[in-house]
Chain A
Amino acid sequence: MNNAIETRSLTKRFGKNIAVQNLNLTVPARSIFAFLGPNGAGKTTTIKVILNIMKATQGSSTVLGVDSKELGPEEFAQIGYVSENQEMPEWMTVDQFLNYCKKMYSTWDDKFCNDLVEQFSLPSKQKLRSLSRGMKMKAALVSSLAYRPKLLIFDEPFGGLDPLVRDEFISGVLDITESENWTIFISSHDIDEVERLADRVGIIDKGLLKLVEQTEVLQNRFRRIELITNEATDIKSGFPEEWFLPKQQDRAVQFVDSQYVKGKSEDNIREIFPNCSNIEISGMSLREIFVVFAKKFKISEL
């Protein structure tokens, strides 16, 4: 099994509204995939269809090589799922909750579970309903990690978490995935948080997948270019398609190169702006790249 998740022309409609449209997505095994998009883009719906919580209107998907419609206890024993929307048996104490979950998994690792409880400083005797949102998410995370799942799916795991808890959460996930080599599929509208985790990103908006790429490749090929020309130039003529969002103010020109290749891109710039001086090339964060996409393709901003 090379791909942990695969979708083929996946479509989900709610009446006349299309939540996910013709989605073709591949999440390679052992990757950390960030599924990004603004609120209402279709991220949660995609996950729910993939996990057979909702039925697809059209298309199909597989998880760990099994058709989503056929997912049963055997497959769910290898999948960890943490969502901000997931209901929890709130009447249980943390201990009762973890014990209840333990009975479901033959691979449950008590020591690992205890370490996680300690690491996240979870109060074992307290009822889930009396815990803060962050603590509840941690408890959900422990219950989804302690059996060492092959695939971890996080649906908006940072919602309502304060920065300190987010850091703890991300560090925890990073520590674990480094050692365990699991596949992680994380959906979020918070690019800054995901940037540290993801090795692949997918961007979805209004149900349509806009981009899927390795984070490193994406960040390597996007550069912000700023230059000064000696005389005023009309940037509209002869501007390559891969240069996004050009801006001009007097002799200053700014744009984003979406296909940056060291050396070759500089030559290209000089060819188009022969009288330019002082070319400044800077790297971009995932957020900045997404903003470029948002403006270029009229995606709602995150």
Chain B
Amino acid sequence: MNFIPYLFKKDFLRIKSLLLVWFLLILAQSALSIGGINLATEFLEFQMFLPLFTKLFSFLQGLMIIVIVPLLIQDDSLVGATAFWFTRPISRKGLLITKSCFIFTLLVALPLIAEMSVLVTNGVTGHRILLAVPEILMEKLVFIIPFLILAILTPQFSKYALVGIIIFAVFAVIVIISSVIMMLLPKTIKIMNIFYNFELIGNPSLEASCRTAKDIYIILIGFILVAHQFLTRYTARTIRWLVVAYLVMMCFTRPWNWDFLKEVPYDKSAVNISQSLSVGFNPEGVIISDEVRFRKKDAREKSISAKETVSGLPAGQFAILKELKDVKMKYADGTTLKSKYVSTSKKEAFSSEKFMPPLEAVLGQIKLLNPFKEQLSYTEIFSLEESDFNQYRNKTGTYLADADFEIYKYEIGSRVPLKQGARDLFGSEQIVIYDILERPNGVSVIIAEKKTNLLFDREVKKKSRYNFARDIYSDYNRVYLIVNKKRNEAFLAEIESNLYADMMAPFGPMRLETKAKQFDFTYVNNRSGPLPKIDKEWLSDAELLRIDAVKIGTQHRTFKIENFSLPSQSTETTQEIDEMDRQLKLQDKQMKKYYPE
């Protein structure tokens, strides 16, 4: 007799209240993912709370799984000697099938269907929805399996919770202790290297590949362990296998370097990267500032910053200084002063004058009516202890540094007619125009940006799970314009306001990022004389353009500046360094300190 449907029904009745909550949470999260952006653009008070709600619902769903799985499994416990089913005509195989079906249909397939519906409603293409399926399945199963294994090895919820808390506490203590040791004794990083694969941190696609391999392994091994426990109830052997499987996983992920999810590289054959690139910096405009000390006992340090100059790139291309290495000053008496680590991280908002020529190149015949005139921000070029600074300042020598540059070009990413409701789907992204608000001195355009970040989508750059917060700055590699093609005129958005951003799930980046933004285009406060009015007539032939900075390669160059001296004081009138730059530099230094290459 096939008893599986009855067992299924029994389990359903057992946890029906929890399943109702689970179902409502999925429903609420889906509703928010579908309609949240509309609500946020309509009602400003929702802007901050809605993304928080999606995270909360997602977190609560995780919590529900942690509770539902043991209740489901331990209702027909697999350990001990008192479970009701042990002496009833219930086959072990039947029980395994029932519980697996239950978990798969209600805890995996249901949220999968919900998320697919969200993707469909958000206009994601069928191809990408199919790509999302294995990723969602993997994500759900990998989350469930540790709790499932814990549930099959414990007889009651209380023991499950106790063992779970102990395991969590042990791991947390290990992580905290190792982090503290690494922070206080940086030399121990080499020892920690035995356990951690630091290679993954700076390489999101390698990190994703390793994580995917690990996830597949967890799912396979997890299922084998669960099936073994159901079919044999040899608990001690299951635990032994679990420990061995964990150690094997640690061993194979430690040296992982197979990047099978690497993004499809940009077609470099179509781009001519100039070999005549020359670099330097303006020695007249130098800033000297004090480094921030993290500990009192740290020596006082000075930081020297300047504006770098890059020339020789073809029209349409521009370079961003990525890293300065082996920075030193050589003096005539043969002494060499080596710089400490210098941070080149800075917020390149793509709104300074440096970016205007390549932007105009991509626009061709279209005239940019309000180009930006902002000055470049500073780059740290040397860092040294105050005592060295006092000794060497004003002494003339040769400045030397190896520099890595990233070369970019602008490309038109999206082109949307400036009409309410107009939509453009391009690659993994879409832009929808929500509203066009005419103002006395211009126009405001409210848009929704939607982007899928799929693990198996090789056209999309992977996002790191370790540093996903940094992706907040990804917006800086794009600019929005409104263009009237008939008149060959374009306006850059002068103010960009984020109305809504739902980008991060509790444990990493979201598969479907949604953002609502408002761009203000103004024609009155211009700097170069009267501009044409952005009125109804102008707007009737207009379209919204998104121009993306696309990385096309890297270049290595050596800075060599003869007759350079570290000035005794700043040569610029202002010593104010952009606060964001400063913060980023500090973060970057910290990272470099703990995770050296």
Does chain A bind chain B?
yes
Interface on A for B, CB 8 Å cutoff?
Answer: 48, 51, 53-54, 72-74, 76-77, 79, 81, 83, 85-89, 91, 96, 100-101, 103-106
**Given A87-B77, A106-B1, A73:B82 Cβ within 8 A:** no
Given contacts A91-B14, A103-B6, A104-B3, contact A76 B75 (CB under 8 A): no
A87: chain B residues within 8 A (beta carbon) = 77, 82-84
Within 8 A of A (CB), among B93-136: 94
Bound-state Cα–Cα, A206 to B3, Å: 40
Interface membership of chain B positions 248-283, coded 1 if the CB is closer than 8 angstroms to chain A and 0 otherwise = 000000000000000000000000000000000000
Q: Please encode chain B, from 323 to 352, with 1 for each CB lying within 8 Å of some chain A CB and 0 for all others.
A: 000000000000000000000000000000
Residue B81 at the chain A interface, CB threshold 8 Å: yes
Among candidates B75, B81, B91, residue contacting A73 with C-beta atoms closer than 8 Å: B91
A89-B75, A100-B6, A100-B10 given; A72·B84 CB < 8 A: no
Beta-carbon contacts of B53-85 to A below 8 Å, as 1s and 0s? 000000000000000000000010100011110
Query: Which of the residues B13, B86, B89, B94 comes within 8 Å of A51, measured between beta carbons?
Result: B86
Asked if A76 contacts B88 (CB within 8 A), the reply is yes
The answer for the CA separation of A275 and B91 in the assembled complex, in Å, is 70
Residues of A within 8 A of B83 (CB): 87
Residues of B within 8 A of A104 (CB): 1, 3, 6, 88-90
Q: How far is the CB of A149 from chain B (nearest CB, A)?
A: 11
- In the bound complex, CA of A245 to CA of B99 (Å): 60
A154 to chain B, nearest CB (A): 12
CB-CB under 8 A from B86, the residues of chain A are 51, 53
Besides A76-B90, A104-B3, A104-B89, 4 more A-B contacts (Cβ < 8 Å) are A53-B86, A73-B94, A87-B84, A89-B75
B574 on the interface (CB 8 Å rule)?
A: no
Q: Is the CB of A76 within 8 A of B3?
A: no
Closest to B1 in A: A106
Chain B residue contacts of A83, Cβ below 8 A: 82
- Chain A residue numbers with a CB within 8 Å of B89 are 72-74, 76-77, 104-105
User: Do B90 and A86 touch (CB < 8 A)?
Assistant: no
Q: Digit string of B1-45 for contact with A (CB within 8 Å is 1, else 0)?
A: 101001000100110000000000000000000000000000000
Distance (whole angstroms) from the CB of B465 to the closest CB of chain A: 39
Least CB distance from B67 to A in Å reads 15
The residue from B77, B82, B91, B94 contacting A85, defined by CB atoms under 8 A apart: B82
Interface centre among B14, B75, B87 (most CB of A within 10 A): B87
A48 and chain B: residue at smallest CB distance? B81
- Judge whether B87 and A76 touch: CB under 8 Å: yes
A86: chain B residues within 8 A (beta carbon): 82, 84, 87
- The bracket for how many chain B residues form the interface is 10 to 19
CB distance from B407 to the nearest CB of A (A): 66
The complex places the Cα of A284 from the Cα of B12 at a distance, in Å, of 56
CA distance A91 to B86 in the complex (A): 18
Q: How many whole Å from B1's CB to the nearest CB in chain A?
A: 6
List 15 interface pairs A-B (beta carbons < 8 Å), by A numbering: A51-B87, A76-B87, A76-B88, A77-B89, A79-B87, A86-B82, A86-B84, A87-B84, A88-B84, A89-B14, A89-B84, A103-B3, A103-B6, A104-B1, A104-B90
Are B6 and A72 in touch, CB under 8 angstroms? no
In chain B, what residue has the closest Cβ to A91? B14
Nearest CB in chain B to that of A153: its residue: B87
A101 touches B14 (CB 8 A): no
Nearest to A88 among chain B residues (CB) is B84
**What's the Cα separation between A234 and B366 when bound, in Å?**
133
1/0 per residue, CB under 8 A from A, across B276-313: the answer is 00000000000000000000000000000000000000
What is the chain B residue whose CB lies nearest that of A97? B84
Shortest Cβ gap from A53 to chain B (Å): 5
Chain B's closest residue to A84 (CB) is: B82
Q: Which residues of B contact A54 (CB under 8 A)?
A: 81
- A100 vs B7: C-alpha distance when bound (angstroms): 9
Distance in Å: Cβ of B316 to nearest Cβ of chain A: 70
Q: Which residues of A contact B94 (CB under 8 A)?
A: 73
B90 and A81 contacting across the interface, CB-CB below 8 Å: no
Collect the chain A residues with CB atoms within 8 Å of residue B82's CB. 83, 85-87
The proximity string for B residues 207-223 relative to A, scoring 1 for CB distances below 8 Å and 0 otherwise, is 00000000000000000
Query: Which of A74, A77, A100, A106 is the most central at the interface, judged by chain B CB atoms within 10 Å of its CB?
Result: A100
Docked Cα-Cα span, A105 to B86, in Å, equals 15
- Give Cα distance in the complex from A86 to B14, angstroms: 19
Cα distance, A93 to B1, chains bound together (Å):
24
* Contact present for B87 and A72 (CB under 8 Å): no
A-B pairs, top 5 by smallest CB distance, nearest first, are: A73-B89, A81-B87, A77-B89, A76-B89, A103-B6
Query: Roughly how many angstroms separate A86 CA and B87 CA in the complex, as a whole number?
Result: 10
Report the separation of the CA atoms of residues A79 and B90 in the bound assembly, to the nearest whole angstrom: 13
Q: What's the Cα separation between A73 and B4 when bound, in Å?
A: 13
| B residues 168-210 touching A (CB-CB < 8 Å) | none
The docked-state distance in angstroms from the alpha carbon of A51 to that of B84 is 13
B87 touches A53 (CB 8 A): yes
Q: How far is the CB of A137 from chain B (nearest CB, A)?
A: 14
In the bound complex, what is the Cα–Cα distance between A100 and B88 (angstroms)?
A: 11
A54–B90 Cα distance when bound, in Å, is: 17
Contacts of A79 in B (CB 8 A): 87
Chain A residues in 8 Å Cβ range of B13: 96
Measured CB to CB, the closest approach of chain B to A160, in angstroms, equals 15
Q: In whole Å, how far is A117's beta carbon from the nearest beta carbon of chain B?
A: 19
Instruction: Provide the residues of chain B in CB contact with A91, threshold 8 Å.
Output: 14
- Chain B contacts for A76, CB-based, 8 A: 87-90
A residues less than 8 Å from B88 (CB atoms): 76, 101, 104
CA of A76 to CA of B94 in the docked complex: distance in angstroms? Answer: 15
Contacts of B84 in A (CB 8 A): 86-89
Question: How many angstroms from the CA of A91 to the CA of B3 in the assembled complex?
Answer: 20
The minimal Cβ–Cβ distance linking A161 to chain B, given in whole angstroms, is 18
Chain A residues with Cβ under 8 A from B3's Cβ?
73, 103-104
Inter-chain CA distance A101–B14, complex, in Å, is 15
CA distance A77 to B81 in the complex (A): 19
Q: Which of B75, B81, B94 has the most CB of A within 10 A?
A: B81
A232 CA to B87 CA in the complex, in Å?
61
Nearest-neighbor residue (CB-CB) of B92 within chain A: A72
Closest to A99 in B: B6
Q: Which residue of A lies closest to B84 (CB)?
A: A87
Distance of A104 Cα from B6 Cα, bound (Å): 9
Nearest chain A residue, comparing its CB with the CB of B77: A87
Q: Which residue of A lies closest to B94 (CB)?
A: A73
- Measured in the bound complex, the distance between the Cα atoms of B77 and A86 in whole Å is 12
Q: How far is the CA of A54 from the CA of B86 in the complex (A)?
A: 10
Closest CB-CB distance, A141 to chain B, in whole Å? 13
Q: How far is the CB of B62 from chain A (nearest CB, A)?
A: 25
Could you mark each residue 394-407 of chain B with 1 if its beta carbon is under 8 Å from any beta carbon of chain A, else 0?
00000000000000
**Docked CA distance A79–B89 (Å):** 9
Instruction: Please report the C-alpha to C-alpha distance between residue A100 and residue B5 in the assembled complex, in whole angstroms.
Output: 11
Which A residue sits closest to B234, measured CB to CB? Answer: A55
B-chain residues with CB within 8 Å of residue A106 when the two chains form the complex: 1
In the complex, which residues of chain A have a beta carbon less than 8 angstroms from the beta carbon of B91? 72-73
Separation of A48 and B94 alpha carbons in the complex (Å): 22
Q: How far is the CB of B86 from chain A (nearest CB, A)?
A: 5
Q: Which residues of A contact B6 (CB under 8 A)?
A: 100, 103-104
B80 and chain A: residue at smallest CB distance: A87
- Which residues from chain B contact A105 at a C-beta distance below 8 Å? 89
A96 contact set on B, CB distance < 8 A: 13
Which residues of chain B from 505 to 522 have any CB-CB distance to chain A below 8 Å in the complex? none
Write out the residue numbers on chain B whose beta carbons fall within 8 Å of the beta carbon of A81: 87
Instruction: List residues of chain B with CB within 8 A of the CB of A85.
Output: 81-82
Which residues of chain B come closer than 8 Å to A77, judged between CB atoms? 89
B235 shortest CB reach to chain A, Å: 11
Q: Determine how close the nearest CB of chain A comes to the CB of B453; give it in whole angstroms.
A: 42
Contacts of A103 in B (CB 8 A): 3, 6
Which B residues are CB-close (under 8 A) to A100?
Answer: 6, 10
Q: A105 vs B3: C-alpha distance in the bound complex, in angstroms?
A: 10
Tell me the minimal C-beta distance from A234 to chain B in angstroms.
53
